[in-house]
Amino acid sequence: MARKIGFYGVLAYIIYGLFFYWYLFYFADTSLPFEYDGSTADPATFLNGRELTLSEEYSKIRNLLFFLATPFEWIFYLLILLFGLSKAFKRWGEQSSKYKVLQTAIYLIWLSFFAFVATFPLSYISFSLSKTYNISTQSFASWMKDELIDFWVNYGTMFVIVSVLYWLMKKSTKRWWLYAWLLSVPFTLFMMFLQPVIIDPLYNDFYPLKNKELEAKILTLAEEANIPAEHVFEVNMAEKTNALNAYVTGIGSNSRIVLWDTTLNKLSEDQILFIMAHEMAHYVEKHLYIGIGGYLLLSLLGLYLTYRIMHYVIDRWGEAFKIPSVHDIRSLPLFLMILSMLMFVSSPLSNTVSRYQETRADRYAINMTDDSEAAIQTFQELTRAGLSQVNPPLLVKIFRYGHPTMLERISMIEDYEMEKRINHNK
């Protein structure tokens, strides 16, 4: 039975990979509808021939890597179970310590290590790809340092979650999913509070914006939007990437506005103010808190479905997977696999909500700054810096895009400008 499950699992992954290779490289049409030819949304008007070619090549390979990466996780966890490695990790933990908490820690370090090794080739290919296309400027040593920080941050977080989760499973076999969700609410908020001041600085250096004149203009915008911001932060990303970004992070007293130094170096002041107005819209319209609420609702449903699916799978294939019960830590790979599948399946919904919020933020920003030229040039420069497709394939948009496509964003600005002219002539 185990061999049969493994064979069909690997076969399904190969068929899935071949489908997306065919879809992205031979079937999907990324050309613009004819009515946009020659418009400011047409990449041919602001990218040269080489940039157009590189954009298509880079996007296709990057999208293929995305669609291959998540299901690879599922195959990894499936094989960990079928080959009895999860059982071996538990045995090594029990042989190394008599304390339950240390046994859990040892089990997790082995699972995390094997996962790191298994996913490293795809991670390195992604890093190498971004270097080849001049998106990344990061050295291998710097990238490896970030990968190791990721490993230990994820391990520490996972250790806390898994220790509490399996304790709840043993205490309440029927309600553990609900109690786990209730505890996840304060934990999620606590992690969001810590993110800007504890976790993010592990990767990069943050400091108050050096350009005080620009900071004053940004804070004036924030004051107009009734945002209690005292400082704008910049982060040194130029040594890692040529891409552009800005964001609002954290909650409560730890919330902050952050600009990548690449954004400061490559965009004009008007373009930066448009981006800042966009980020402020998320605060004004409470998108962060709506996002937290949506995440918590989805996680409640996800934990309940995971509880039901785990019981079904273990009742039917527990022997093949070498899992005697749900509350045995050997079931952790199954738990992670199911949760990952549910997150992947729900991503079109969460991306749709995110794209709606980002559209609202774009509209807020253009109304606030009333500078269509700066807005359009910003989106064009973002496209150039990230070698993004202006009109990506449908499945890519559904599963990958938390923002509207550049075609949609630039078209919205053009529509705004047209409406303004019509209203002015009335």
Give a yes or no: residue 224 inside a domain.
no
d(CA 174, CA 312): 13
Give a yes or no: residue 216 inside a domain.
no
Give a yes or no: residue 33 inside a domain.
yes
- What is the domain range of residue 366? 2-204+285-425
Question: Model's pTM, two decimal places?
Answer: 0.89
Give a yes or no: residue 302 inside a domain.
yes
The predicted structure's pLDDT at residue 311: 92
Contact criterion met (CB below 8 Å) for 273 and 280:
no
Catalytic residue among 73, 215, 234, 279: 279
Give a yes or no: residue 267 inside a domain.
no
Q: How many CB atoms lie within 10 A of CB 28?
A: 17
Give a yes or no: residue 388 inside a domain.
yes
Contact criterion met (CB below 8 Å) for 133 and 184:
no
Q: Tens-of-pLDDT digits for all 426 residues of the chain? A: 767 888 888 899 999 999 999 999 999 888 888 888 888 888 989 888 888 999 999 999 999 999 999 999 999 999 999 999 999 999 999 998 888 899 999 999 999 999 999 999 999 999 999 999 999 999 999 999 999 999 999 999 999 999 999 999 999 989 999 999 999 989 888 888 888 888 888 888 888 888 888 888 888 888 877 776 666 888 889 889 988 888 877 776 677 788 899 999 899 999 999 998 998 888 888 888 888 888 889 999 999 999 999 999 999 888 888 898 889 999 999 999 999 999 999 999 999 999 999 999 999 999 888 888 999 999 999 999 888 999 999 999 999 999 999 999 999 998 888 877 776 666
The predicted structure's pLDDT at residue 9: 87
Q: Is 279 a catalytic residue?
A: yes
Give a yes or no: residue 314 inside a domain.
yes
The predicted structure's pLDDT at residue 312: 93
The residue ranges of DSSP E strands in 102-196, in sequence order, are none
Give a yes or no: residue 156 inside a domain.
yes
Number of domains in the chain: 1
Q: Rg (Cα) of the chain, in Å, rounded?
A: 24
The predicted structure's pLDDT at residue 36: 85
d(CA 107, CA 330): 9
The predicted structure's pLDDT at residue 35: 85
Angle of helix 2-22 versus helix 49-82 axis, rounded to 10 = 170
